[in-house]
């Protein structure tokens, strides 16, 4: 009997398994609708692993892994779970006064990507650019990090250093930087100035709590000085406080005009944001400058004024950060930062640039180097959907804001670009040596003439300083890199001598997008003439657009 029982046993067990399996297959049809079954299933898996897995595993680790996997499966770099410490860091950072390096970052394609450095911060002064990938911090690889993890490491006591390695498109080797943390006080308008006697130039570096007030004060002052038109420079502006984006757009739009709207799964996440006040600068021609570093709130302002035919947008396609994050308090002090909606322009263009595949990245796009060493993405707008503005002009959608006039910075030739890449292999060392040489130059030069122009002997002294600092420079590299090095040193001397405004004035002649804006605004044309000059004439403005 015993042998007989043992031979029948497996058959019976198999039959039961098949019967049970068939029952579960039938039940499985409805499991997606049964939250209880799904949550119970998770609990059972955790129980079995924690009690029977070959190696000991803490239940808390299993739950953390389950949550992490669930969030990662959303394929959204802006959704994350913040523990108590991470939440405190996030809160302090967004309140606008903290110790750090001043970089706006997101996590994309397994690495931390710089959206843009904030003006006047350690990150900007060191020469970190929009699109740079942070691949290492303090000797730790950042592969797989969330942006919150990076923030926790990059933030710290002012005066302490963060060792950062950067991967930049177009460069074969990673770049090392030493960033000395500082108290980051977000400011919006570092300066404002009059160009060509009647064009008011306003560089808006970020959107902080005072941005609208600062832009308005700058515009009013420039109008009193004789400005008959404006250039609003949003290049490198990574965004910031939402209501300030609404406030800045409101300065140039009639009361009630739609500025932006949000769309999400929940009705509570759907909303329309309209200009709350009367148009302050009615009829004043406006050009907006944007680039790859313009993101989030910058895209809301540029997109709304472009859709309403209120401004001509010049530059390069923007970053495409158009999602809305909501914060939810959870058990144990945790906070869920969840993407709940996307931003749309008044004409319905989604600002969010969706990555179709890992190849759809900055690194996969052809790039060149500008005269000031920034990478320039050569935009490919083929295949983007089209819509019409309220004035009948053709605009491109597909994520981010595509300018009316694609105007890229002047770029380096092949030989000079190769030499600059050689310098950038030790970018942090070069940045420090450039600062030191600029300070030394000013200490031994009484009342330098502006714009700054250095001679060959001064440039040779600068190259010697680089060599002493450990930068490898052969004669061919020196010769090819000389024009770039001269411009960089002159710009740094201007910065140390007179701040952001003097550095800006030093480079106006070499700023191709700005030169194009000044050409369009010459003689302060009426709005219709401005768009005609830009090659995008209005086809009949409709009154009461999007109200």
Q: Which residues are catalytic?
A: 296, 307, 321
State how far the Cα of 403 lies from the Cα of 314, in Å rounded to an integer.
5
Residues near 300 by beta carbon (within 8 Å), at least 6 away in sequence: 242, 245, 246, 249, 259, 260, 343, 345, 351
The overall longest dimension of the chain from CA atoms, in Å, is: 111
DSSP element (H, E) containing 422:
helix 414-424
Checking phi first, is residue 396 left (phi over 0); if not, alpha (psi -120 to 50) or beta?
Answer: beta
300 CB neighbour count, 10 Å cutoff: 26
Using DSSP bridges, classify how beta strands 175-180 and 161-167 pair: parallel, antiparallel or unpaired. antiparallel
Which residue's entry shows tokens 């595949």?
Answer: 357
Closest to 298 in 3D by CA, of 202, 207, 374, 389: 207
Query: Do the beta carbons of residue 175 and residue 165 sit within 8 Å?
Result: yes
The token pair at 270 is 């759907």
Query: Do the beta carbons of residue 320 and residue 350 sit within 8 Å?
Result: no
The token pair at 80 is 């994350």
Using DSSP bridges, classify how beta strands 312-315 and 405-406 pair: parallel, antiparallel or unpaired. parallel
Assess whether the previous peptide bond of 144 is cis (omega < 30° from 0): no
DSSP tally for the chain: helices H, then strands E: 15, 23
DSSP string, 489-544: HHHHHHHHHHHHHHHHHHHGGG-HHHHHHHHHHTT---HHHHHHHTT---S-PPTT
Query: Do the beta carbons of residue 235 and residue 270 sit within 8 Å?
Result: no
């Amino acid at each position: 009997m015993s042998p007989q029982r043992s031979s029948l046993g497996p058959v019976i067990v198999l039959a039961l398994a098949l019967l049970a399996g068939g029952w579960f297959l039938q039940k499985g049809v409805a499991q997606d609708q049964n939250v209880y079954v799904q949550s119970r299933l998770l609990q059972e898996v955790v129980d079995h692993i924690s009690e029977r897995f070959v190696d000991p595993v803490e239940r808390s680790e299993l739950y953390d892994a389950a949550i992490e996997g669930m969030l990662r499966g959303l394929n959204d770099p802006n959704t994350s779970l913040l523990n108590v410490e991470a939440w405190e860091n996030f809160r302090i950072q967004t309140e606008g006064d903290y110790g750090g390096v001043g970089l706006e970052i997101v996590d994309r394609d397994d690495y931390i990507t710089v959206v843009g450095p904030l003006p006047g911060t350690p990150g900007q002064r060191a020469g970190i650019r929009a699109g740079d990938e942070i691949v290492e911090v303090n000797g730790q690889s950042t592969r797989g990090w969330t942006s919150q993890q990076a923030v926790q490491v990059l933030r710290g006591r002012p005066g302490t250093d963060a060792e950062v390695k950067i991967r930049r498109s177009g460069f074969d080797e990673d770049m090392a930087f030493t960033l000395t943390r500082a108290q980051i006080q977000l400011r919006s308008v570092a300066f404002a100035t009059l160009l060509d006697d009647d064009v008011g130039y306003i560089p808006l570096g970020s959107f902080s709590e005072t941005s609208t007030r600062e832009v308005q004060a700058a515009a009013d002052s420039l109008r009193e000085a004789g400005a008959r038109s404006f250039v609003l420079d949003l290049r490198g502006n990574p965004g910031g406080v939402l209501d300030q984006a609404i406030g800045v757009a409101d300065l140039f739009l009639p009361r009630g005009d739609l500025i932006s709207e949000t769309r999400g799964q929940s009705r509570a996440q759907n909303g329309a944001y309209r200009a709350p006040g009367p148009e302050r600068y009615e009829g004043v021609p406006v050009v907006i400058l944007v680039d790859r570093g313009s993101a989030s709130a910058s895209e809301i302002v540029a997109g709304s004024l472009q859709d309403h035919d209120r401004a001509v947008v010049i530059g390069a396609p923007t970053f495409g950060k158009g999602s809305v994050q909501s914060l939810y308090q959870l058990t144990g002090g945790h906070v869920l930062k969840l993407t709940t909606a996307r931003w749309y322009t008044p004409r319905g263009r989604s600002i969010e640039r969706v990555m179709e595949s890992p190849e759809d990245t900055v690194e996969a796009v052809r790039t060149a180097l500008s005269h000031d060493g920034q990478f320039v993405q050569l935009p490919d707008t083929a295949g983007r959907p089209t819509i019409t503005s309220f004035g009948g002009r053709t605009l491109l959608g597909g994520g981010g804001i595509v300018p009316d006039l694609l105007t890229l910075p002047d770029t380096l030739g092949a030989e000079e670009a190769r030499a600059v890449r050689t310098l950038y292999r030790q970018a942090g060392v070069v940045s420090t040596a450039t600062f030191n040489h600029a300070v030394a130059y000013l200490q031994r030069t009484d009342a330098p003439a502006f714009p700054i122009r250095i001679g060959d002997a001064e440039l040779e002294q600068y190259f010697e300083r680089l060599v002493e600092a450990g930068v490898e420079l052969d004669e061919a590299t020196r010769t090819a890199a000389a024009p770039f090095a001269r411009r960089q040193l002159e710009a740094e001397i201007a910065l140390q001598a007179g701040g952001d405004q003097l550095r800006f004035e030093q480079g106006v002649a070499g700023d191709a997008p700005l030169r194009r804006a000044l050409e369009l605004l010459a003689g302060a044309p009426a709005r219709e003439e401005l768009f005609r000059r830009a090659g995008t004439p209005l086809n009949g403005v409709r009154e009461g657009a999007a109200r």
